[in-house]
Amino acid sequence: MEYGFWSIMPPVVAIVLALLYKNVFIALFSGCFLGYLIIDQAHLLRAFDDTLMSFIRVFEDNDNTIVILLVAVLGGLIVLIEEGGGIRGFTEFLTARRSIVKTRRGANLFTWIVGVLVFTSGTLSTLVTGAVARPLNDAMRVSHEKFAYIVHSTSTPVCVLIPLSGWGAFMIGLIHAQGINDGAAILALSIPLNFYCLITVFSVLFFAFTGKDFGPMRRAERRSQETGALDHPRHGQSACQTTDVLTSGRISSSLNLLIPLLIMVIVIIIGLLITGEGNLLAGDGMRSILWGIVLAVLIAAGMLLFQQIFTVKEIITIFFKGAGDMISVAAILILAFSMGSMVKMLGTGLYLGNLFASLLIPGLLPAIIFLLSCLISFSTGTSMGTMAVMMPLAMPMAIEMHFSVALVAAALFGGAIFGDHSSPISDTTVLSCASTGCDIMDHVRTQLPYALVFGGLSFLLYIVAGLLV
């Protein structure tokens, strides 16, 4: 069944409610319920039941379940490391004792470097970069909004620019499915033409070196510098919180942070090799991440026991306290996954694709594909889903019009990442906030102006590039 115009209403309503009321739970639940109300032809009771059951069906997908479990386990790991003095010791090592990083600029650059190095998965990048760089950024009084922006900007945008992972295989497969034999070559040619991702990733360096933030981000940074409050005052955070990592507690050992995290990264790489039968790129990323984080928890717990810092009972209590703090994040992920499935049932992406195809002018093909991909990805919160929907529409048009396939592919990939990077219903938006401690709507409110500026500039560049081809 085709739902036409009604297919775009659930994501539009969810996004509008999220931006207006700054409550992701109400927004996502309302969007899900409206979607099933449309699917069930206004049958209230059936729509309500389908909405609730859609949350249950989220766990039928192993990757969804693993991501939700990862969030809880990571929360427990972070609190274990913090209570065990790992964060305090790591911060002292980089700031007070060795002075390796002693400025806000250095903290920003350190975060950018870690984010770029973890290029195999957007999920892994947000989790690892946030966990590793958070103590340093907190110590340097970098606002959580700015921290989340850097972590998010070096996640999926980097995965597309350095496609040496499942991302590369996925994008090559989509290109090949359109009858283009040399998908790898097309992907390679599209990288320098992916204006949005290039601008997004390297703009972080500009803002880190110059400190020339603008809009809500500038106000957030001024607040953190002047008052020490890493979050907006409405979240009840005090100005003295930024110094807790250096002044509270007696335990201080950077090894309690570095060893568990190093073990986690090593195990993830080994897991990718094992599940991929020797091929790192073919490995099961979600399962490998789960192995790494769980083993990191066991290593951290063992170290705390060996040092006689905590008892077994205390470790278990601390772990579940940290895991419990992530319940709200897990709930948002469940709602977001449910929304994604419902949007696919409605055929929202396909409807938007067909709607805008009629407006196409040959010289504007890359710009239109980019804009359409931005709209779909922002509405659905999924980059890979947008790529899958748009590729069968974009590639045949490019081939038929004898247009640069690489340029069109770059516009499509960049536009798809736009939504992943800016939508409040994107999973990497949620995970970036979970790992950095930033409120989701604060993150969206401060990052969206950047994404819109970069998207607008990219749109203009695709107009120019399209006319020059």
Does residue 337 carry a pLDDT above 70? yes
pLDDT at 327: 85
Q: Of all residues in the chain, what percent carry a pLDDT higher than 70? A: 87
Question: Which among 95-109, 115-129, 368-382 has the top mean pLDDT?
Answer: 368-382
Does residue 245 carry a pLDDT above 60? no
Q: What tokens were used for 200?
A: 């997004």
pLDDT at 358: 64
Q: What does the pLDDT average to over 277-294?
A: 77
Give the model's confidence band at 37: pLDDT under 50 very low, under 70 low, under 90 confident, else very high.
very high
- What is the SS3 assignment for 286? helix
Does residue 95 carry a pLDDT above 60? no
Give the model's confidence band at 243: pLDDT under 50 very low, under 70 low, under 90 confident, else very high.
very low
Q: Which residue has the higher pLDDT, 362 or 66?
A: 66
Question: Which among 46-50, 341-345, 354-358 has the top mean pLDDT?
Answer: 46-50
Q: Which residue has the higher pLDDT, 124 or 277?
A: 277
Nearest to 403 by CA among 353, 443, 363, 441: 363
What lies within 8 Å, CB to CB, of 349 at 6+ separation is: 343, 376, 380, 385, 386, 389, 390
Nearest to 66 by CA among 323, 279, 290, 353: 290
Give the model's confidence band at 191: pLDDT under 50 very low, under 70 low, under 90 confident, else very high.
very high
Does residue 246 carry a pLDDT above 60? no
Give the model's confidence band at 385: pLDDT under 50 very low, under 70 low, under 90 confident, else very high.
confident
CA gap 305, 311 in Å, rounded: 6
Q: Which residue has the higher pLDDT, 50 or 254?
A: 50
pLDDT at 303: 92
Does residue 81 carry a pLDDT above 80? yes
CA gap 39, 346 in Å, rounded: 7
pLDDT at 202: 95
Window from 139-153, 344-358, 370-384 with minimum mean pLDDT: 344-358
Nearest to 341 by CA among 58, 65, 59: 58
Does residue 96 carry a pLDDT above 60? no
Could you tell me if 81 and 259 are in contact, meaning their C-beta atoms sit under 8 angstroms apart?
A: no
Give the model's confidence band at 261: pLDDT under 50 very low, under 70 low, under 90 confident, else very high.
confident
Could you tell me if 381 and 342 are in contact, meaning their C-beta atoms sit under 8 angstroms apart?
A: no
CA gap 52, 402 in Å, rounded: 48
pLDDT at 244: 41
Give the model's confidence band at 240: pLDDT under 50 very low, under 70 low, under 90 confident, else very high.
very low
Does residue 171 carry a pLDDT above 60? yes
pLDDT tens-digit profile of 288-329? Answer: 878 888 999 999 999 999 988 889 999 999 999 888 887 877
Question: Which among 25-34, 198-207, 269-278, 397-406 has the top mean pLDDT?
Answer: 198-207
C-beta neighbour count of 100 within 10 angstroms: 11
pLDDT tens-digit profile of 197-215? Answer: 999 999 999 998 888 899 9
Q: Is 258 buried (19+), middle (13-18) or exposed (0-12) by CB count in 10 A? A: middle
Give the model's confidence band at 238: pLDDT under 50 very low, under 70 low, under 90 confident, else very high.
very low
Question: Which among 10-19, 349-358, 431-440 has the top mean pLDDT?
Answer: 431-440
Mean model confidence pLDDT for the chain: 83
pLDDT at 12: 80
pLDDT at 285: 67
Q: What does the pLDDT average to over 75-86?
A: 83
Give the model's confidence band at 235: pLDDT under 50 very low, under 70 low, under 90 confident, else very high.
low
